[in-house]
Amino acid sequence: MTTLSFEGKVAIVTGAGGGLGKQHALALAARGAKVVVNDLGGAVDGSGGSVSAAEAVVAEIRAAGGEAIANGASVTDFDAVSAMVEQAIQTWGRVDILVNNAGILRDKSFAKMDMADFRLVVEVHLMGAANCCKAVWPHMIAQKYGRIVMTTSSTGLYGNFGQANYGAAKLAQVGMMQTLAIEGAKYGIHVNALAPTAHTRMTEGLMPQEVLDALQPEAVVPAMLVLAHDSAPTRTILCAGAGSFEAAHITMTQGVYLGAGADVPEQLAEQLATVTDRAAEMVPPNGSAQGSHEFAKAMAAAGKP
């Protein structure tokens, strides 16, 4: 079994002042990476800010013999994020790994949710990840190497009551992963997503204590390391929690061809069970594959090769 080493690599981990991000930063540093520990230091809802949390993690890494620097940029501020990337390059000459982990919660049922809270959650999770990706992208292209890990969520993939804002932002990161992985392929940039289940301050009070005790953040870290390593796949969604690991896929069924007649709505309603039948479903390699599949069915129905 080959040890996953990160010797010589430079990593940026956002939201690394505590919880899962802290464990990501500690693990990367323990395996040889030089780490930028980014954390705004705010509350779970995004209010406030202090670099002290990031500095404490840096101190822990250095005490263990690793190399790390602290950064207090808000991922919502592109100029500050760009300066963070420059800080890493000035210090160590490159950026190899970006772990987009920073996030906040503003949970409430959609009926009661203020749209300002919806917008802020999307701003931090989605635009924060986009800002960080944009800032490292030219450097990764230039060095023809990069590993980017998005943090999605079971809420984004499957839904969860009271988290319409969070779920929308988290699934949007998967959409960004899909395209960035395609665009980055020729430059050696691999982009993946991690869907963690972990007990952090963001999950306090949401689950029974017995469940929380089993969901330690450390149990998620192996999946991040696999997705950030030289040997990482690309366009992969790994789920991780309590020592268990799974993969999630966005699939498409075989469907049926119904043409464009006046009664197609009625036909579709009658045959919806066939359309949604998951037998022989596929994982399309890109967005255009949906159109290609549909066009092929239309040509076959018309008797054309």
CB 281 within 8 Å of CB 252? yes
CB 181 within 8 Å of CB 198? no
Instruction: Kindly give, in sequence order, each residue whose CB lies less than 8 Å from that of residue 7, ignoring residues fewer than 6 positions away.
Output: 31, 32, 33
Catalytic residue among 145, 158, 166, 187: 166
Cα–Cα distance for residue pair 254/206, rounded to 1 Å: 38
Q: How many CA atoms lie within 13 A of 57 on its CB side?
A: 33
CB 197 within 8 Å of CB 19? no
Residue 81's nearest CA partner among 98, 94, 66 is 98
Q: Does the annotation mark 166 as catalytic?
A: yes
Catalytic residue numbers read 166
